[in-house]
Amino acid sequence: MNERIKKLAEQAGFMPSNFISRWDAEFVLFAELIAAKEREACAKAVEGYCGAWDDQGYALTQIIRARGGQA
């Protein structure tokens, strides 16, 4: 399992158990889906603040959305 996700799960109170080892793929996918929604919300907030045609705002939204490819 992705170590960052595992650490976040522990911070949230999940205890290492059979649950986490048994459902690794689903747990990681769930965390990735939440992160993707948050990235998109941040990108939309930048678009709303800067305007859709602002070059700097556009560049910032692309940086935010590109973070989805990072591990």
C-beta of residue 66 within 8 angstroms of C-beta of residue 55:
no
pLDDT tens string, the chain, 71 residues long: the values are: 577 777 887 788 776 665 556 667 777 788 889 999 999 999 999 999 998 678 888 999 999 999 987 54
| Distance in angstroms (rounded) separating the CA atoms of residues 67 and 71 | 9
pTM comes to 0.68
3-state secondary structure of 21: helix
Widest Cα–Cα separation across the chain? 50
> Which amino acid is present at 3?
E
C-beta of residue 2 within 8 angstroms of C-beta of residue 9:
no
